[in-house]
Amino acid sequence: MHDQNAYHSNPMSKNDLTRRQFLKTTSASAGLLASGSLPGFAASPQPHVPFPTAPRDRISVPSYPFRAYIDSPTNHDRDPKRPGMDLKDFGAEVVKKFNIHNIEPHSRHFRSLDPAYLDSLREATRKAGAKVVNIAVDGEDSFYDLDPGVRKKAIAYAKKFVDVAVQIGSPSVRVHINGAKNSKPDVQRTAESLRDAVDHAAAKNVVMNLENDDLVSEDAFFIVKVIEAVNHPFLHALPDFANSMMTGNADFNYRALTAMFQHAYNICHVKDGETNEQGKYIFIDMQKSFDIMKASGYRGYCSMEYDAPGDPYAPTTHFIEQTIRYLS
């Protein structure tokens, strides 16, 4: 935290402040203001996403659990044995099957990023009575790679999907911090890269989120350090209920979830467990996870991210029922 008193007055005389002290004080304050760190000020305006309060209205369904069904040239998880749908039809499917009106598309599920396609996606979603509340973006390049050229590609990809978010009416994107073969996770390089991307997002009034989606490059406590280093009102955390459980350590998972929710704003991922590297599904305590969420004062959306083999429809319905109960 920064000292909220830029200077302390001499109690003997309120006119004792010398010109040199004044210049030093104003210079320091200007530096803090430029960084967005001066108490009471921000380099960018705060995001103002209007959140619903009814439990069902706070629920979102992501396209990721339905990846086997989504037709897209970049979706390598498509299962030709299952019925297919374009991402344009996903909003209507979610409304019809779940009576949920918020969706979270994945970047690999866009058939095209052409403006005409994006316009048709937005219109089809609107006609279905649905809206996009976040885009999950998985880039291949690392924000902390030692090669500046690679970092620039990661930044450019994040910016591209910020522009996509604007076109389809999404208030936020979740960007992926990919690992780098030539470097361990690095807070400062990641923060420097993300600062550039977040400045672009803030200019477009789009929130940028980071998820605890990997135990190394997206470790929850690493993400918190990055968010605090960037210190930008448009960069937040996307807490996933179970991704940090892949260690098998329940205490670690709930500490990670607590830390993430302290920086969350508009989107989190709800699930009752996660499959570890050995293929075992490890369950979490849903009641405890929702208690952590409530204690943080979080008011955003809860996205139902079932992530295990098999039909996603029944588990998604179950998650929705559980979430409505816990939020009520």
Q: Which of 220, 215, 254 is nearest to 238 (CA)?
A: 220
Q: What residues does each domain of the chain span?
A: 133-238
CA angle 20, 21, 27 (to 5 degrees): 90
Task: State the DSSP string of 233-299.
Answer: TTEEEE-BTTGGGGGS-HHHHHHHHHHHHTTB-SEEEE-SEEE-TTSPEEE--HHHHHHHHHHTT--
Instruction: Note down pLDDT in tens along the chain; length 328 residues.
Output: 333 333 233 333 333 333 333 333 333 333 333 333 333 334 448 999 999 999 999 999 999 999 999 999 999 999 999 999 999 999 999 999 999 999 999 999 999 999 999 999 999 999 999 999 999 999 999 999 999 999 999 999 999 999 999 999 999 999 999 999 999 999 999 999 999 999 999 999 999 999 999 999 999 999 999 999 999 999 999 999 999 999 899 999 999 999 999 999 999 999 999 988 888 899 999 999 999 999 999 999 999 999 988 999 999 999 999 999 999 9
Count CA within 13 A, CB hemisphere, residue 265. Answer: 23
Q: Which residue has the tokens 């993400």?
A: 223
CA angle 211, 313, 73 (to 5 degrees): 65
DSSP 8-state class, residue 132: E
- Sign of the Cα pseudo-torsion (242, 248, 253, 254, in order): positive
Whole-angstrom distance, CA of residue 181 vs CA of residue 36: 33
* pTM beyond 0.95, yes or no: no
- Helical ranges in the chain per DSSP H: 19-35, 90-98, 115-127, 148-168, 187-203, 220-230, 250-261, 286-295, 313-327
- CATH architecture assigned to 133-238: Alpha-Beta Barrel (3.20)
Whole-angstrom distance, CA of residue 239 vs CA of residue 242: 9
